[in-house]
Structure 1
């Protein structure tokens, strides 16, 4: 059972397609079929169910894939750890982003001023899969990935943004129930903030009438500035002031806030550069909140 066979099985298992796997690995399809066949003979277990030219990973294959993913990732972590020990860091930090924030680009830019060798790969708004590989995850509680440890870096107020001509624009704070008949602009279902704000509306006794759903915070802000509706705005991570055409109101009831966390796998090696960036994120939020510069 060699590494080539295991990597081949991993790709075929994820794609469930010999032709695509052969293209990805840049080998012939017969060679792929032979490697998989030899692996199944060695294990004395069929890993795939075959119907004509189609293959499907069976329960034995799913169990084996989980172990193969773990083994290959452990080997990759071992290689990275040795390079770190030899002072030859790979320099890439993989970040799984579950909260939208204009701050991330500033964080990365400032970090690279100190560590220009650092490189970043961003996984944005993806549904977590068991084979998802990242160094750090930025999310809002209570989001959790099994096998990770988390620390809070920021608790921010969730405010309500209304156009400057709105009937409540002259107020400093409101009860959310006062907006029960308003038109809302929101992120799409599946976004963490959307789940949080829908819960806030339910706590206030109504279901929000959402007339626009967006993928990105920038589009939400733009639609509010155009006077098309009201929206929830995280006070720190979404950038504070929205311009003279928008007024931000505090929500008295229910209490509206969220906690931003960073998390990482406890059973994976964390590179030196990722470890430094984790500490940098914590200090960045602490400094920014203290200076009220966000």
Structure 2
């Protein structure tokens, strides 16, 4: 009999009850099996653990030594079990979200999720930390095409609008034609961002390559650049709600300029409970939340 967790539990019960038959009954095992376990421990440690005293048994000096270490070991083992359980529970509460598509509304939307699920622990992953982003539980990103696979859902489609300074001669028009802005300076996200790819795709369809003079993926920064007269921008109409104050935001008439907003989730390993809850919350509520917030400025 090798010393192991079970044999130590059997030894502890025998030491507590000082009676092999009663200890075996408490452990729900046969008394001979308990006796064999005790003998196995004695042979392995080369000691005598108990001595008989009438019908009872008493610990020897060596038995008291083993008892001390057994109690310490089992106490530490239970503490380890509790810590592992706490860790599992914590992992169930934690969800990390990678946001690859800038949106003005996601912070306030996530605040609503936290109200509904205050126990959830949210971690927002910086998209520039590519290694971490690849292992995110959930990823919010945009595309020029509808996405359809078993770990992605397209949340909604939104139009892009041309953002101009109010002083621009086109600012009072009901809409603009993209081809009329072939020679304008553009403010756009850097190369590698999907919104930059979308801008270049639609401009190429209109017969030109956009002249990007300043780069930023921050809606507020792009707003300031446009407001300062440094260029114009083609930006999402709804999810960038709130970034157009003091500017003209006009629909594009000669081109169906749009993007899709998508949510994907990791395919390796199981999602935590909080990750599942956030996924369902985004799928069920994000479109309605965006529409409610943006519709006052851009009636649908």
The answer for the alignment partner of 1:274 in structure 2 is: 275
Instruction: Name which of 200, 203, 211 aligns with 1:201.
Output: 203
Instruction: Name which of 97, 112, 115 aligns with 1:113.
Output: 115
What TM-score do the two structures reach when normalised by structure 2?
Answer: 0.63
1:116 Cα deviation after fit:
1.4
Distance 1:143 1:275, change over 3 A: farther
Distance 1:83 1:201, change over 3 A: farther
> Secondary structure, in 3 states, of the residue corresponding to 2:95?
strand
Alignment of 1:101-180 (within 5 A): 101-126=103-128, 128-129=130-131, 132-141=134-143, 149-180=151-182
Distance 1:131 1:277, change over 3 A: closer
> 1:95 touches 1:136 (CA, 8 Å); kept in 2?
yes
Structure 1: give runs of 5+ residues left out of the alignment: 1-78
> 1:83 touches 1:89 (CA, 8 Å); kept in 2?
no
> Secondary structure, in 3 states, of the residue corresponding to 1:159?
strand
Extract structure 1 runs of 4+ deviating beyond 4 A: 86-89, 127-131, 142-145
1:149 Cα deviation after fit:
1.3
| Separation in 1, partners of 2:145, 2:93 | 27
Alignment of 1:62-73 (within 5 A): none
1:285 Cα deviation after fit:
2.1
The answer for the alignment partner of 2:284 in structure 1 is: 283
Alignment of 1:1-294 (within 5 A): 90-126=92-128, 128-129=130-131, 132-141=134-143, 149-239=151-241, 242-244=244-246, 246-291=247-292, 293=294
> Secondary structure, in 3 states, of the residue corresponding to 1:140?
strand
The answer for the alignment partner of 1:46 in structure 2 is: none
> 2:175 touches 2:250 (CA, 8 Å); kept in 1?
yes
| Separation in 2, partners of 1:130, 1:114 | 27
Distance 1:290 1:239, change over 3 A: closer
* RMSD of aligned Cα (Å): 3.0
Deviations 1:109-159 (A, max 9, x none): 1111121121122223337459931110101126999x9710011211111
How many positions carry a matched residue from both structures? 212
> 1:182 touches 1:209 (CA, 8 Å); kept in 2?
yes
| Separation in 2, partners of 1:125, 1:165 | 35
In our comparison, the structure showing a higher alpha carbon Rg is: 2
| Separation in 1, partners of 2:272, 2:85 | 9
1:98 Cα deviation after fit:
1.0
> 2:99 touches 2:127 (CA, 8 Å); kept in 1?
yes
| Separation in 2, partners of 1:90, 1:101 | 27
| Separation in 1, partners of 2:132, 2:243 | 39
1:241 Cα deviation after fit:
6.0
What TM-score do the two structures reach when normalised by structure 1?
Answer: 0.65
| Separation in 1, partners of 2:101, 2:89 | 33
Structure 2: give runs of 5+ residues left out of the alignment: 1-80, 296-300
> 2:126 touches 2:133 (CA, 8 Å); kept in 1?
no
